[in-house]
Structure 1
């Protein structure tokens, strides 16, 4: 357990609905006529299908859900930026608070992995020399680490490789592909007998999700088992429902029969 460093500076409607794809209904009294159209009717049907499909793609109602999702993602990303420094100050405050409200800046999860908050520049010597850190997994977006942490080049100068797997703060969920990349990265340094520091802003959600994926891979644990294990060491982690869901996807990918077992319980 390591105390925090000193605080740094600053119902679909009929109107506008997607066009219906034409069928053979009403054009022939025999099913065989529909199944075996003439060349001319085949051409007409193909043309009508093409027109219907392109019309569906242009329909505002069909595009509305995608636009809504994109707008929601932009809103979440913007909110994360606005709240970044206030929530960072809170993290620093809890890290320096004495007594029961204190939160350690980082914890060692096992001989290979350390899970924590931002690796501030003032922590570099301690992490490299005392903790044998040779790899860093950064779950933050670039703006979060621009002023307070080492850049990739600065890490490289002290013999540390950085892997950035950008995930939006507060509401973001690491992708399955990024979880796989991160686990491979940790296993590489594990084979060398060296350590990896996994972090986000506060070391609670994004980075905890990554560390849980690593534990699932190494121990063949369920997502819930992995999260419980981390919580015993770093009690203030908070793996959100969406993050737990992607861990379940990861578990299915690496565990033979996991999907079958899950289906049998439903």
Structure 2
């Protein structure tokens, strides 16, 4: 309940920093297949299309996204609703990583977002970088910080990131 009551004020803060003062970018390209950012609005769709975004992962529990605009643009959305100030479940992370890889295999990009593009979405992004770029958790974290400086700097300490890494380490593909 607290997270929901904080959604509008913190979204306003993000809008001020990103859209008005422009001291933070609304999104950042992490690599050729991954764009990490804050929640997109319908007006952002043309810019996302310029980025070759064919899929969107929405980790916001409190925001469905511009569903009609996505449909009209031919953009597939995967909703992985996660309460703000928490992290996605392992199942959600695995589904998100698979979604990114499916789109990457066709040469397209995926936009992964939460409200601010700092934690929930970055959790999925760091796991994808570990799985498909073969980066260590520390190297994946550093890449995210290099590309999006205001990303949560302690993603590697999230239990779900550690669990995902442990599963990868036990996998015969690792």
Please, what TM-score do these two structures have when normalized by structure 1?
A: 0.61
Name structure 2 gaps, 5 residues minimum: none
The answer to whether the aligner puts 1:235 opposite 2:149 as a matched pair is: yes
Question: Which one of the candidate residues 88, 91, 109 is aligned to 2:14?
Answer: 91
Residues 173 and 240 (structure 1), Cα distance of their counterparts in 2 relative to 1, 3 Å cut:
farther
Q: Please name the residue that 1:210 is paired with.
A: 124
The answer to whether the aligner puts 1:120 opposite 2:41 as a matched pair is: yes
Question: Which one of the candidate residues 31, 39, 49 is aligned to 1:110?
Answer: 31
What is the CA–CA distance in structure 2 between the aligned matches of 1:109 and 1:201, rounded to whole Å?
18
Give CA-to-partner distance per residue, 1:79-102, whole Å, 9 cap, x none: 11111111001001111215xxx0
What is the CA–CA distance in structure 2 between the aligned matches of 1:253 and 1:201, rounded to whole Å?
28
* Structure possessing the higher radius of gyration over alpha carbons: 1
Please, what TM-score do these two structures have when normalized by structure 2?
A: 0.91
What is the CA–CA distance in structure 1 between the aligned matches of 2:141 and 2:154, rounded to whole Å?
11
Residues 239 and 205 (structure 1), Cα distance of their counterparts in 2 relative to 1, 3 Å cut:
farther
* Equivalent pairs, count: 170
1:1-266 matched pairs, under 5 angstroms:
78-95=1-18, 96-97=20-21, 102-128=23-49, 130-141=50-61, 143-145=62-64, 149-151=65-67, 153-170=68-85, 172-238=86-152, 244-256=158-170
Name structure 1 gaps, 5 residues minimum: 1-77, 258-266
Over the aligned positions, Cα root-mean-square deviation in angstroms equals 1.7
Find the residue that maps to 1:166 and give its secondary structure.
strand
